[in-house]
Amino acid sequence: MATTDIPTSFTGTFQLHYFASASSYTRKNTEAFPAPYPLCRLYDLLESRYPGMKEKILSSCAVSVRLQYVDGEELDVETAKDKTRMIECNDEVAIIPPVSSG
């Protein structure tokens, strides 16, 4: 199984935190998902649960895993290929829309 494939068995969950417009779109602040899970498949997972989210929200958002921002290439199945990072059990992942200061 390539690391971009979705596992057929899971050992736990990870927590996904939504902020600002992402929270409004999903109507949730936090949600649990099965882990381990390929990071490059995260947007596809969210799009399947919340149709339209990828274009309307995720296209302008940052993602963090374990409080570390993720490089955009890690979120794309084509560029990640077989070297994708896995979201592990008990990881905290955040969807962070653009932030402005004034």
What pLDDT does residue 86 have? 92
What pLDDT does residue 82 have? 65
Is 7 inside any structural domain?
no
Q: What is the pLDDT along the chain (102 residues), one digit of tens a residue?
A: 455 566 666 689 999 999 999 999 999 999 999 999 999 999 999 999 999 999 999 999 999 999 999 988 888 777 776 667 899 999 999 999 988 766
Is 3 inside any structural domain?
no
Is 38 inside any structural domain?
yes
Q: What is the largest CA-CA distance in the chain?
A: 48
Is 90 inside any structural domain?
yes
Task: Quote the domain boundaries for residue 54.
Answer: 12-96
**How many separate domains does the chain show?**
1
Is 2 inside any structural domain?
no
Is 83 inside any structural domain?
yes
Residue with structure tokens 């490089």?
71
What pLDDT does residue 3 have? 55
CATH number where 51 lies: 3.10.20.30
